[in-house]
Amino acid sequence: MALKYKYNGKTKFIIVTGGVISGLGKGVAAASIGALLSSKMKVVPIKCDGYLNTDPGTMNPTEHGEVFVLDDGGECDMDFGHYERFLNVTAKKDWSLTMGRIFKMILEKERRGDYLGHTVQFIPHVTDLIKEQFYRIADQEKADVVLIEIGGTIGDLENQFYIEATRQLSHEVGNHNSVFVHLTYVPIPSGVNEQKSKPTQMSVRDLNRLGIYPEIVICRCEEYIKSHLKEKIGLFCNLPADHVISGVDVQHVYECPLVFDAEGISEILSKTLSIYAPPKLEQWSKLVEALKRNQVNPRKTLTVAICGKYLALEDSYASVIEAISHASAHLDLCTKIHWVDTEKIESGAISAETALKGVSAVIVPGGFGSRGIEGKIEIIRYVRENKIPFLGICYGMQLSVVEFARNVCGMKGAGTIEMESENNHVEFPVIDLLPSQKNIQEMGATMRLGGHDVIIKDSSRAAEIYGSLAIRERFRHRYEVNPKYVLQIEKGDISGAKSQKLFFSGKAANEEIMQIMELSEHPYFMACQFHPELKSSLIHPAPLFFGLLKAADEKK
């Protein structure tokens, strides 16, 4: 059966694989390579994951890291955060391939009779479908370069079809139109104090057995790879020594494109693929230098508390951490993260006052479920009353409304219906399900997802922060501020005493969905239903994060 999409004869393909162990940073490496080319070429990233989920949307963040939401509503692997931040692209959900999606498409084609009665097999049918996705995206996006990252490690059973598909692709498009880059590990064993190349040699040998011979090997190590070891690795991997690149550990991932450029990747790609795309890294380099400088000799150090329950894996809040770094670079600040487990506050093991001692700013990020919820509400009460700069995101905004309703508006039984159970009735459901969510049964990809327009009220702090009355941000939620209580909450203190006022300063463009709230009589108390961290980048920090750190800087 002929492929529906074939090679367009123009696009170059860079395929990034990994070996030895997972977690080496293939996503950052792939994004860094793309960053070196993106100043002159359109680089489109594709991520290939072996798991059978059709997307990571229903996965626990402590298992797989955060879910990165795209403008078109796609729920993707967190590596898409690196792609967007490094490549300055707006990614699409079709650029995320999982083996679950591939198998689903295969079965749908078989049911439709697309295979004309032939026996459906892994090869050629699965591999052909994978190649079709590569060619289709390259053609539809008019991409100069397609950057393909294959998740996991060489040898993982679930990734073999991606490996075989890229091998076939390389044969079809020709060596001058494709390059394999292999990321591997060079350990320095304790007590030996010597870089060891054997894991890299074994990993490349496994790749060779699958018919793939990488043109570039990036060696992740805590030190730069010594010249004699580059020669040794090159000899065993059939490569010139200068095609063995140091993937040295860095303080900030944004240093990686600068390291790769200095190691010569730009020149190698230019010669191998016959492309001319000299990187433009001047502004990038200045901001990286600011980040590094403030680690050593900071103008000022701020401690930012992130208060949540997914603390077993910091990648659960990866984009929040990155957004803090982006704002820090522009404000010439050193920021340190202080993790607060809200379950411990809920249980009474620690007080909010103790947990936030010495903290300059507080963030309550997104989340789901009732676990740790009362601890978050207590954190919000403390920062509101003690005027600590605060940013609530998604669930953080909803719980800010709950806290205000309880402690200022006199609605002691206020809550979110997400807390409701047989043993817990919510007297004032100030947070309710979105109307569009009330009859939904399936969990995957059914939330209010992706980019939506937000209208901001004039003369509000939000308008000042954004410098605009119309913005577009990304959402991932099922619940909203209950419209029945909006006026009552904005009215405020039932006693009539002078106090802080809650003000909904942003709402959906075509619906009465509250999107931004802020408090008066507070140095910085902002909360939003969207996830501003998803659009933040080193060059363009998220305005709400920038405002948070600026307020903390001025207050301290």
C-alpha distance from residue 105 to each of 4, 34, 148, 235, 395 (Å): 14, 29, 20, 42, 34
Give the C-alpha separation, 333 to 295, whole Å: 9
Instruction: From the candidates 48, 219, 307, 394, give the one annotated as an active-site residue.
Output: 394
Element (H, E) at 130: helix 127-140
282 contact partners, CB below 8 Å, separation of at least 6: none
Instruction: From the candidates 66, 255, 418, 533, give the one annotated as an active-site residue.
Output: 533
N-term to C-term CA, the chain: 68
C-alpha distance from residue 479 to each of 41, 294, 390, 432 (Å): 41, 39, 21, 5
Closest-CA residue to 538 (of 336, 294, 287): 287
Helices (H), 1-70: 26-37, 61-64
Buried b (16+ CB within 10 A) or exposed e, 220-256: bbeebbeeebbebbbebbebeeebbbbbbeeeebbbb
Closest-CA residue to 542 (of 298, 325, 316, 365): 325
**Is the link from the previous residue into 124 a cis peptide, with omega within 30 of 0?**
yes
76 catalytic? Reply is: no
Structure tokens at 497: 């005493």
Alpha-carbon 227 to chain mean position? 35
182 catalytic? Reply is: no
Structure tokens at 332: 């010439």
Backbone φ and ψ for 383, nearest 5 degrees, come out as -70, -30
Q: Please, are residues 216 and 265 in contact by the beta-carbon 8 Å criterion?
A: yes
394 catalytic? Reply is: yes
Instruction: From the candidates 125, 477, 522, 531, give the one annotated as an active-site residue.
Output: 531
Closest-CA residue to 295 (of 318, 329, 248): 329
Residue numbers annotated as active site: 394, 531, 533
